[in-house]
Structures are given as C-alpha cells and as structure tokens.
Amino acid sequence: MTVTTTNIPSTTKASNGIKGDVSQEITAPVRAHWMRRLLRDRAAFLALLTLTIVILGAIFAPMLATHDPASNSRSVMTPPAWMAMGKAEHWLGTDGQGRDIYSRLLYGARLTLLIGFLAVGLGGFFGSLLGLLSAFNEKIDPWIMRTMDVLLSFPAILLALALVAVMGQGIVPIVIALGISSIPDCARVARGIAIGVMKQEFIEAGRAVGLSNLQLFNRYLVRNAISSIMIFISLRFGQTILIGATLSFLGLGARPPASELGMMASQGRDFLLFAPHIAVIPSILIFIIVLSANVAGDALRDVLDPRLQA
C-alpha cells in the first residue's frame, strides 16, 4: 500500500496535470506497429519464438530427425543422453519399442500442430461465418444461435468417440470433432463482435448509399470484425491442441506407427514407474506448445483488440 501510493499520484499527476503533452507521449508508442509492440513484451516474444521453433521443427522434421520414427531397435527404453545408461545416439532416449523419442517428437509435433490448425481453422471459419450471419440478419439469428446452444452441450470428447466409432480411427474424425466443438464458441464471440460493428454509423451509411447485402456483409462487417475474431481463434488454438492430445491419449487419434504427442504420452503411461521419460518428454512438449500458444494469443489480443486499448 505504502509503496503504490508514491507511484500512482505521480502518473495521475502527469496525465492530469499537463494534459496535452503526456497523453501524446503515452499514445505515441501505443500507436507503434503492433508487431513491434508484441515483440517488446518479453513473455510474448519468448512464446512466439518457442512456437516458431516448434513449428519449424515440425515442418522440417524429415531433415531434423536422426532416426526413422517408425523403426524400432533393440535398445528399448534407453533414458535420455544426460541420464545414467543414456546413449548419445538417442539424446532424448527411446520408447518401449526402441524408437527414437527425439525423431518421434518432431513428427509428433507435426501431427499435433496439424490437428490443431485444421480443427481451429474449420471451427473458426464456420463458427465466425455463422456468428457474423447471425448478427447481420436478425431473422436467422435465433435459429443459428439455438443450434449453437445445442452444439455447445455436446462435449468434444463424446463427439469424437461417436465419430471414431462411425468413421474408424484416424485424424480426420478428430479434426472434425474438434472443429465442430469450436464452432459454437467462435460463433458466439463473432456474433458479439459483429453486433457491435452493426451498430456503427458506417453500416447505416452503407445501407443509405444502396449497397447490396453481400457488399455490406463483405466490405463493412467482415473487414471490421475479422481482427477481433482472429484474436479469439488464436486463443482457441492452445485449447484445441490440448483436447486433441487428450483424444490421442485415449487412443482415438492417429494410427500407429504415426506419432502424435498425446499418443506418445499415452504409450509411455505403462512405463511411468520404470522409464518416466517416455511419457514425460512428449507431455512437456505439449505443455510448452499450449503455454506458448496461450501467452502469444493473450499478447496478440492485448496489442490488437481495440477494446482493450481504451
């Protein structure tokens, strides 16, 4: 308490006392390019850097991998190189089948990120489209939103189970299930944002100059709402990855010998007592990806969302 009292008056004084100058000083850096502002935030910078490294690793997995991720060897459950009994050949160790964990991690991240991107893309696209339409046209609004309420009551895991039962195991049903479960959230948020935009005067103006509904929707609504919606979708990414990994952990995701981070963690579960690295290493990577995605998403919102800049 005593510490803050010395600080707060100084800033309030500054902003209140010399009105014009200080507000200029404060808003000037805020107006700086959003990318620069984002990178100035140390946590966001680290998160973005981590994500970039993981994504690059996933993209260039075939070049970076030291072993064939599906090929087994006779050295099973080798611990990571820095531990006793570790081997330099497998620096993150091997799993219960004698497969190189580092190489599987690269390919696993590939699949995990792919599932995340596709699912968020699918859910984000259809969700925001429905939300925008809902806000744009009051007649279809209740229909869309009540459908969203129904979808909202469907847990992603249950939906995935049902889809896997029908379509068989693979990443397609997982992507669809995760995508569908993202739709209602995205739709609600998009609708909220769009309703705000629809109240703006330029919409009225657009109508007055005789723009068609399509033009109004495309040029005025979508363009003004899209950045806020994208922020929400980016926040959704980490969560989707996590649910995707959960589904793979439950044995619903990729088919072996493909590797997926959740599946790798699940395969290590039986050895947790004796060779914890098999489950722990992929789990740590999931943790890092999700944390980075969330921190980066938050930071992105901080710098981009006009409502938070007040």
Partner 1 sequence: MTLTPLKRTGFGVAAAFALALPAAAQELTIIRAQDSNHYDPPRTTAQSGAEIIFMMSDTIVGLAEDMKTIEPLLASSWDVSDDALTYTFKIRDDVSFCDGKAMTAEDVAWSLNRWQDPETKSPVRWRMGDVKSITALDATTVVYELNAPHSELLYQLAQSFGSIIDKDTFEALGKDFGVTGFNGTGPFCWESWTPRDKVVLTRHEAYNWGPANYENAGPAQVEKVTWQIVPEAATRTVALLTGQGDISPYVPFIGYSTLRASPNIKVIKSENAFWTNYMGFKITKDLVGDVKVRQAINLAVNQEAMAEDLFFGEVEPAYSYVSSGALDYDTSLDDSLLKYDPERAAALLDEAGWILNSDGKREKDGKVMEPLTITFTGEWQQTSEAVQADLLKVGIELQIEPMDSTVYWGKSATDEFEMYVMGYPYISAGDALNLYFRSANIPTPNRMNWSDPETDELLVTGSQATNETDRAAAYAKVMQKVHDSAVWLPIYHRPMQIGYSTKLAPFVAHNIYGAGLYKGLQLAFTE
- The region of 21-29, 49-57, 92-100, 186-194 touching partner 1 under the rule CB under 8 A is 92-100
Q: What distance in Å separates the CA atoms of residue 111 and residue 253, rounded to the nearest whole number?
A: 10
Apex 243 CA angle, 194 and 72, nearest 5: 140
- The answer to whether 87 touches 78, Cβ cutoff 8 Å, is yes
Q: Is 216 in the site for partner 1 (CB under 8 A)?
A: no
Near partner 1 in 136-165, by CB under 8 A:
165
Binding-site member from 215, 251, 287, 308 for partner 1 (CB under 8 A): 251
State the minimum distance, in angstroms, from the CB of residue 99 to partner 1: 8
- The region of 64-72, 100-108, 182-190, 229-237 touching partner 1 under the rule CB under 8 A is 64-72
Half-sphere exposure of 305 (CA within 13 A, CB side): 17
- The region of 94-102, 149-157, 190-198, 288-296 touching partner 1 under the rule CB under 8 A is 94-102
Instruction: Determine if residue 84 is left, alpha or beta; phi over 0 gives left, psi from -120 to 50 gives alpha, anything else beta.
Output: beta
Q: Is 86 in the site for partner 1 (CB under 8 A)?
A: no
Q: Is 87 in the site for partner 1 (CB under 8 A)?
A: no
Q: What distance in Å separates the CA atoms of residue 301 and residue 206, rounded to the nearest whole number?
A: 29
Q: What distance in Å separates the CA atoms of residue 232 and residue 226, rounded to the nearest whole number?
A: 10
**C-alpha closest to that of 298 among 27, 73, 45:** 45
Binding-site member from 23, 24, 27, 71 for partner 1 (CB under 8 A): 71
Residues contacting 56, CB < 8 A, separation 6+: none
Cβ closest to partner 1, residue 38 vs residue 264: 264
Binding-site member from 97, 121, 172, 211 for partner 1 (CB under 8 A): 97
Q: Using CB under 8 A, list all residues that contact partner 1.
A: 70-72, 74, 76, 96-99, 165, 168-169, 251, 255-257, 267, 269-274
